[in-house]
Amino acid sequence: MNLLPYTIYLSFAGALLSLVAGRRSAAAARGVALLTAVACWGITLYAAYGFTPSNQMIQLVDVTWISQLGIHYHLAADGISLTLVVLTGLAATAGILFSWNIAERTGEFFAFYLALIGGVYGVFLSADAFLFFVFYEIAIVPKYFLIANWGSTNRLYGAMKLALYSFAGSALVLAGLLWIYAAGHASGFSLWELAQAAAGLSHPQQVVIFAFLFTGFAVLAGMFPFHTWAPTGHVAAPTGASMLLAGVVMKLGAYGCLRVALPLVPAGLEFWQPVIAWLALAGILYAGLVALVQDDFKFVIGYSSVSHMGFVLLGLALANPAAMAGTVLQMFSHGVIAGLLFAVVGRMVYERTHTRQLAELTRLPLHRLMPFAAVVFVLAGLASMGMPGFSGFPAELTILVGAWQVSKVWALAAALGVLIAAAFTLRAIQVAFFGQAGAAAPAAGPVHLYAPITWPERTGAILLLAATLLVGLRPDLLLNWIIPSLQSPMMQAVWIGGTR
Amino acid sequence: MNGLLSTLILVPWLGALVLALTPRLSPRASRVLALLFSLSTLALALVAWAGFDPAAAGYQFTEQHAWIRIPQVAAITCHLGLDGLSLVLVLLTGLVAPACLLASWRIERDPRLFNLLFLFLQGAALGVFLALDFFPWFICWELSLVPAFFLIKLWGGPGASRAAYQFVVYTIGGSAFMLLAFAALFAAAGTFDFVALAALAHSGALAASMSGPALTLIFLGVLLGLAVKVPLFPFHTWLPSAYAEAPTGASMFLTGIMSKMGVYGFLRILWPLFPVQLHAAAPVLLGLALGGVVLGAFAAMAQTDLKRMVAYSSVNHLSYCLLALFAVSYAGAGHPDAAGAALGGTVLQMFNHGLSASALFFCIGCLELRSGGRRGLGDFGGVRTVAPVFAGLCGIALFSSLGLPGLNGFVGEFLIFRGVFGLDPGAAAVGCLGLFATAYFLLTFWQRVFHGPPGPGVAGFRDLGAREILTLAPAVALMFVLGVWPQLLMGLINPLVTAWAAHLP
């Protein structure tokens, strides 16, 4: 557990090192990046191995940083952060494996990549709101460069849109935090101090502050109607970055809601609950329907991410432990599954066929030309559809259990979302990979048309598939970390609606 | 006999795994291997039968493996158990599945993948019949769709893509609401175990733990999931094209086994968990089941494609099962004899339909194979003279499906009508219309294909080969055996049926 802060330091050190190594050779930069990511992942797994679930945060580091403002360099972890750092480790490792073919300015690519990862680890481990915010911003900048420099379709537009949305969200968050700090006369920026300060504010103030904080974070989580950066950003990003973007960066927003917005001003959640829930449901259903009619394969996956993050936001809005446990599980699950889907579409398919248009892909017998990619995509698609046995299922089931306790109508609408997810995923599988299948299609044809799937691709895909299956069959592995953390004093305030 | 049930489920999956890991296997070896793995179900089912105590109430060979444990929140186990109903269906799976593989012997395109998917499907179906906890049950229930989807899509006819998509999206549409229903049940009861939930429902604790409308909503969710699967009219629209486009082996399994999964769900879940709601909804459901009986038969009458004809006749035959079920629920307590007959007939009808419908799909497959893909009602004629063995076996399957006394189909339908007449004479009278229409179209099938002047599809028609006879003969033999000695199966389910009838609200 005590090693967890080193994930941050190692990532930043790795970023510098890969920049240096990149001047020598691309292979060295790759090696450095992979070693760094695996080492960080190893640390998170080691921490998980020794973790005893409890309702207390485990304090990792607490050093005064800016004493005049009461800002500390304060890192802490509980079961929720642990789940997400393990996800980060996995997604980073897999993302690097799927970026193995980056040939242009490899060192810089991995430097930005690892800096992004370092920022993400930092966010998940921060216990001081100011520090949280700093890491949050650190994560945005490399993302912009990754997309603008190494992206594809409309990359400058996508990168700019993403950065602007993110900064606008951050501005709202900062305003909300400063409001609490100033108006509530907080003694410092730790989450506990801010929560105390916020409790002293008037109810209308709390309601407005909550709107600032939640909206600011939810932009990054892809909440409807602020989700439009997500599909364009995902599509423009290079594969490894899409995987991170959908896999962990969208989780930053959700995590911000969970860790900062909800516990700091629980009274606001009570007020805004129906609005958030309906926006989340609108996201689930609308993005699902949009995914159903996309012509670009990567846009299908991009919108499916928005739809799945809708479940996360719904769980956040429901404000009960069952739904919140499902939310964290869904964050993990979506991180893994979205990573897989983007890996198949962006790396395995697009970089070989050089098209993402479903109308063109359907004319290729892809299931025979790249059977490995087809099998991985089918399995990832099943996981994304919420098939039992994969991680999406226990997550959605838990959220539905929580939703039913709050509102039957929301639960029904969410169930409809499950159906739409099945429809658009099956369509994508059917059109992209099995367009020329069936007895009517010609049986023989050129088989070795495309470069074979490489070992980094295989390794990455197998890692992610194993993770989704493991969590699907044994969701208690993660739920037993998450559920005790939901009973912490801060989260208790959320369940009882801020009356402490 | 420890671990018998998990072995039943796992052996076909193990076979699928073996096939998945041996990409260089020759087609012939993969076929033989798959058949052996598939036959394991029959062997193990017979072992279970030998050790089964028909007089005992409750589940036998139960297994309960710890699975998902979250302190104070959930303890989900892999709970397996076998009662008379499960045993009958496991036996049916053991009989039908190897026949499907034999019927698919001639598949040239990637037979290894076909067999792999098929074994996976077989294991999933067995899981549905044996699991007693929603979590493993639903895994098998949903995962069975995946191999079925690819079997239809990759080896099916020209419209297979659309049919497979429609089939899966419809079924998942139903399942999504069933999932929500079980999420709601879990929120109220804290368990997914069918036995525990049934006990809660029986004691009234389940109804006490939530409002009436909420429980009704849950009931509707589960009902929708099961009704699409069976299918209950008007949720049947996916069925004709899925059955017609699927390759022969898959059609046989879809109609023989997968449609039984839905009826099984009615008996295993809806019946014990929601007796009051089922009773309240019974008038409407009875009407829908009658709609399936009558309209299914009339729709079959209007078909010129033999495969679609048999597909619609499946809607008709399965609606008899539901008709009996709903009639019993509608009448409520106080008619133990009629209820017992109707419910016994339901289980028997499930088994009989599994045998006869899969045999008919196989016969149509034989017709297609010999005539270059023709399967129109008018494409044949005079087959009896060129292929007497085929005509004989297919004729028996047809007459079994039609309900000729002396064959198995009669016993099931007789018991159902004997029961339903006692419970709701009006429904039984309307249901008779379906019987007449069934007799009409099945006789038309018999006449137009096997008698009269030879049609374009009969040139060079060979009689059945040894492998084909082997596929069909066991089912046909059983049709005779069960026709004269239904006690063979009735003995297994009688105590169960009596218990069901005694627990009516």
Question: Which residue of chain B has the CA closest to A483?
Answer: B70
Question: Which residue of chain A has the CA closest to B172?
Answer: A419
Straight-line distance from the first to the last Cα atom of chain A, in angstroms, rounded to the nearest whole number: 31
Instruction: Report the domain count for chain B.
Output: 1
Contact call for residues A281 and A128 (beta carbons, < 8 A): no
User: What pTM does this model have?
Assistant: 0.91
List pLDDT tens digits, range A156-173.
888 888 888 988 999 999
Hey, how many other C-beta atoms are within 10 angstroms of the C-beta on A357?
A: 13
Determine contact: A147 vs chain B, CB below 8 A: no
- What is d(CA A298, CA A493) in angstroms, rounded to the nearest whole number? 40
Which residues 6+ apart lie within 8 Å of B304 measured at CB? B376, B377, B378
- What is d(CA B126, CA B357) in angstroms, rounded to the nearest whole number? 19
Hey, what are A205's tokens?
A: 């103030």
**Chain A interface, best mutation among B21, B133, B142, by max A CB count within 10 A:** B142
Tell me what pLDDT residue B431 has: 87
Tell me what pLDDT residue A500 has: 42
Return the percentage of chain B with pLDDT > 90, whole number. 31
Residues 425-464 of A with CB under 8 A from B: 426-427, 430, 434, 437-440, 443
Determine contact: A322 vs chain B, CB below 8 A: yes
Tell me what pLDDT residue A497 has: 59
Q: How confident is the model at residue B333 (pLDDT cuts 50, 70, 90)?
A: confident
- Contact list in B for residue A418 (CB cut-off 8 A) is 172, 176, 179
- Contact list in A for residue B187 (CB cut-off 8 A) is 322, 401-402, 404-405
- Contact list in B for residue A422 (CB cut-off 8 A) is 168-169, 172-173, 176
Tell me what pLDDT residue A97 has: 92
Mean of pLDDT values over B19-42: 89
- What is d(CA B315, CA B296) in angstroms, rounded to the nearest whole number? 5
Q: Which domain holds residue B406?
A: 274-505
Contact call for residues A404 and B180 (beta carbons, < 8 A): yes
Concatenate the DSSP letters of all residues of B284-315 into one string: HHHHHHHHHHHHHHHHHHT--BHHHHHHHHHH
* Residue contact B153–A434, C-beta within 8 A: yes
**Range in A198-202, B29-33, B115-119, B333-337 with the lowest mean pLDDT:** B333-337
Give chain B's mean pLDDT: 88
Tell me what pLDDT residue B141 has: 93
Gap from A458 CA to chain B (nearest CA, Å): 16
**B285 located within any domain:** yes
Tell me what pLDDT residue B203 has: 85
Tell me what pLDDT residue A58 has: 86
**B419 located within any domain:** yes
Secondary structure, 3-state, B115-162: HHHHHHHHHHHHHHHHECEHHHHHHHHHHCHHHHHHHHHHHCCCCHHH
Contact call for residues B328 and B396 (beta carbons, < 8 A): no
Return the percentage of chain B with pLDDT > 70, whole number. 100
* Residue contact B176–A434, C-beta within 8 A: no
**B389 located within any domain:** yes
Q: What is the ipTM of this complex?
A: 0.87
**B402 located within any domain:** yes
pLDDT along chain A (500 residues), means of 10: 87 91 88 92 92 86 86 90 94 91 87 93 92 90 88 84 89 91 86 86 89 91 87 86 89 91 87 91 92 88 91 90 91 93 88 82 79 89 90 91 89 91 89 68 54 85 93 90 87 66
Tell me what pLDDT residue A443 has: 47
Hey, what are A61's tokens?
A: 């580091």
List pLDDT tens digits, range B142-182.
999 999 999 998 888 888 888 888 999 899 988 999 999 99
- What is d(CA A115, CA A84) in angstroms, rounded to the nearest whole number? 17
- What is d(CA A387, CA A390) in angstroms, rounded to the nearest whole number? 6
- What is d(CA B457, CA A477) in angstroms, rounded to the nearest whole number? 60
List pLDDT tens digits, range A442-462.
444 445 577 888 888 889 899
Which amino acid, B163?
A
List pLDDT tens digits, range B407-444.
888 888 889 988 888 888 888 888 888 888 898 989 99
Mean of pLDDT values over B2-8: 87
Hey, what are B146's tokens?
A: 């995946």
**Range in A439-453, B199-213, B218-232 with the lowest mean pLDDT:** A439-453
List pLDDT tens digits, range B55-80.
887 888 888 888 888 887 888 888 99
Determine contact: A418 vs chain B, CB below 8 A: yes
